[in-house]
Amino acid sequence: MNQSAVLKPAASETGDPFLLTPGPLTTSRTVKASMAHDWGSRDASFVAINKAVLARLAEIVHGEGDYVTVPMQGSGTFAVEAMLTSFVPPTGKVLMLINGAYGQRAKRILDIARRKTVAHETAEDAPPELKKVEAILKRTPSITHIFVVHCETTSGILNPIAEIGALAAKYKKGYLIDSMSAFGALPIDAPAIHADAVAASSNKCIEGVPGLGFVVCRRDALAATKGNATTLVLDLYDQWANFEKTGQYRFTPPTHVIVAFHQALQEFDAEGGVGGRGGRYRNNCRVLVDGMKALGFELLLKADLQAPIIVTFRMPAHPRFVFERFYDGLKTRGYVIYPGKLTIAESFRIGCIGRLYEKEMHGLIAAVRDVLDEMGLTSLTAATTE
């Protein structure tokens, strides 16, 4: 056969493009391989695997003893909806701290469930204003809960969950956190920050495959949620009560996803848990940010607000920069990035999470340079003044 000059794209261990996205993510070969079996959902070996997964998830947020993990079949949003609709009673009112699409989505969930909310909304590049949050809590005693997104994946901003938790404790409010894109990479001490519930999923920083959400709940708070749920399937209390009674899911569990999650948790532990995983992502983020800045790209967020999870870049203004060509050029080279979701600025996003190392981040930067060349853009900074 003729050796052609066709570009050989970068690829994962299984020959797939690297996903530099906020989920689903690139997973290890061993996580994928663990799914090549069938399990009965009542099988003792599956029941034991599931139990180990749930116990480990609670430990990751220092919840041993006082907290329990309730899994929820589905994507991460199913877990967020289960958390909100199970914890907030019909008489409740939730202070929603919103600075992106996931905060908006959580409010929509409560609107549909006809639960009252009060929103404190800040720009997508600004954290909640704690003084204003406290003022709202002071003047609105009918508020029963506070909700916040830990890392708002819309921009990649890190929200101050500990400071908000201190306010929740001071004003005796329930505290519900969507930590979907941070769980396992950024430290969470659930008891110390007074969290009642922390929601996340199998396919973000733990690097499992998509299909299972979960909520780590303070046992006492969960016990008080009986009868709150607005749907049968998303009733966290009922799901938990059934586990306590039978060790089983009420409805068919995603068995393969849970076994892969178990494998992913073992790899997470082998990497050194939150410290090791978070450290790798911080390093990925550093290589990404330094490399992109050197090529003339600008970041949306100030450095102290940027979580090492996903980075938002402003869309270059140069007329020769066409995002579709940029995206396709990177895809051809084996790197899948993510369009922006901001309302305040044109942007695109590149994730630091998943089974990606420094080598892949350097590979991505080389590919970005190459695609810019192809578009006739050697330097974006020089280009904008043309």
Ligand X SMILES: *Cc1c(COP(=O)(O)O)cnc(C)c1O
Q: Which of positions 198-257 make contact with ligand X (CB under 6 A)?
A: 201
Stretch that binds ligand X, among 72-80, 223-231, 253-261, 359-367 (CB under 6 A): 72-80
Residue 39 burial (CB < 10 Å; 0-12/13-18/19+)?
A: middle
Indicate the residue among 22 and 128 with the shorter CB distance to ligand X. 22
Phi, psi of 301 (to 5 degrees): -95, 150
Site track for ligand X across 354-373, x = CB under 6 A: --------------------
Interface mask (CB under 6 A) for ligand X, residues 153-182, using x and -?
A: x------------------------x-xx-
Give residue 301's identity as a one-letter amino acid code. Answer: L
Determine phi and psi for 314, rounding to 5 degrees: -70, 140
Q: How far is CA 113 from CA 81, 86, 93, 108, 257, in A?
A: 9, 10, 12, 8, 29
Q: Which of 80, 215, 216, 368 binds ligand X (CB under 6 A)?
A: 80
Judged by beta carbon, residue 80 or residue 285, the one nearer ligand X is 80
Judged by beta carbon, residue 162 or residue 317, the one nearer ligand X is 162
Flag whether 333 is marked binding.
no
In which region does residue 94 sit, left (phi positive, over 0), alpha (psi from -120 to 50) or beta (all else)?
A: beta
Closest residue to ligand X, judged by C-beta, is 76
- State the number of binding residues for ligand X (CB under 6 A): 13
Name which of 211 and 329 has its Cβ closer to ligand X: 211
Residue closer to ligand X by CB (options 63, 213) is 213
In the complex, minimum distance from the CB of residue 383 to ligand X, in angstroms, rounded to a whole number: 32
Q: Does 23 bind ligand X (CB under 6 A)?
A: yes
Q: Given candidates 63, 76, 165, 329, which one binds ligand X under the rule CB under 6 A?
A: 76
Burial grade of 196 (CB within 10 A; 0-12, 13-18, 19 or more): buried
Exactly one of 12, 22, 25, 229 binds ligand X (CB under 6 A); that residue is 22
Question: Considering only residues 12, 34, 77, 122, which one is a binding residue for ligand X as defined by CB under 6 A?
Answer: 77
DSSP letter (8 states) at residue 292:
H
Token pair for 273? 């848990």
- Report the largest interatomic distance among the alpha carbons of the chain, rounded to a whole angstrom: 76
What is the DSSP code string of 132-175?
A: HHHHHHHH-TT--EEEEESEETTTTEEP-HHHHHHHHHHTT-EE
Do the beta carbons of residue 370 and residue 329 sit within 8 Å? yes
Smallest separation (angstroms) from ligand X to the CB of 269: 23
Whether the CB-CB separation of 75 and 181 falls below 8 Å is answered with no
**Residues in binding site for substrate:** 349
Q: From the annotation, which residues make up the binding site?
A: 349
Footprint of ligand X on this chain (CB under 6 A)? 22-23, 75-77, 80, 102, 149, 153, 178, 180-181, 201
